[in-house]
């Protein structure tokens, strides 16, 4: 008969402790970096409107001139349904800055229609805004950039093929 004998393995608790402490430091560092870089891009709380100082609006002669230097292409709408069955319209497109200056902010007014051609939902939102979004830098001259605007609580008979949009405000550097 064969008898197996074993000796307790020699463990090095100091190495295991060092590894656990190193992993915890990396995790805490990652959480701190994440909160630091997301701190500047938090959406405004509540229903307060977003204000961009120096935004040009209709009636201003510079607004009318620079409005013609912006093209919006390939606008399409898709329907998203959340886990709580809330219907959300996602309006996507491409902004083209044909001007000779940097575009810092662009405010769009989007209108959705139902199947019978009546206004279903409206929303005014920034497609480009300083200091927010994935690309927080202003748009360079001749640059193209995609945008997405979400509109919540769309009605059942919303027609994604009929969308209207208008530039309501802009700001150049």
Query: Model confidence over 99-147: pLDDT tens digits?
Result: 888 989 899 999 999 999 999 999 999 888 877 666 668 889 999 999 9
**Domains present along the chain, CATH in parentheses:** 56-172 (2.60.40)
Query: Model confidence over 63-110: pLDDT tens digits?
Result: 888 889 999 999 999 988 888 888 899 999 999 999 888 989 899 999
- Rounded to two decimals, what is the model's pTM? 0.66
Angle formed at CA 70 by CA 68 and CA 72, multiple of 5 degrees:
120
Long-range contacts from 33-41, C-beta under 8 angstroms, 24+ separation: 40/131, 40/132, 40/136, 41/131, 41/132, 41/133, 41/136
């Amino acid at each position: 008969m064969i008898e197996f004998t074993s000796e307790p393995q020699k463990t090095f608790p100091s190495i295991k402790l060092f590894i656990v402490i190193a992993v915890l430091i990396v995790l805490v560092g990652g959480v701190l970096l994440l909160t630091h870089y997301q701190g500047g891009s938090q959406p405004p709380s509540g229903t307060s409107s977003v204000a961009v100082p120096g935004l040009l609006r209709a009636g201003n002669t510079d607004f009318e001139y620079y409005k013609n230097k912006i093209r919006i292409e390939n606008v399409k709408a898709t329907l998203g349904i959340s886990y709580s069955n809330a219907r959300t319209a996602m309006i996507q497109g491409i902004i083209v800055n044909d001007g000779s200056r940097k575009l810092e902010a662009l405010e769009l007014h989007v209108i959705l229609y139902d199947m019978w051609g009546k206004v279903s939902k409206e929303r005014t939102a920034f497609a480009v805004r300083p200091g927010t979004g994935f690309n927080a830098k202003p748009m360079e001259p001749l640059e193209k950039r995609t945008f997405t605007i979400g509109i919540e609580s769309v009605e059942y008979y919303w027609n994604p093929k009929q969308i209207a949009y208008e530039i309501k405000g802009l700001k150049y550097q």
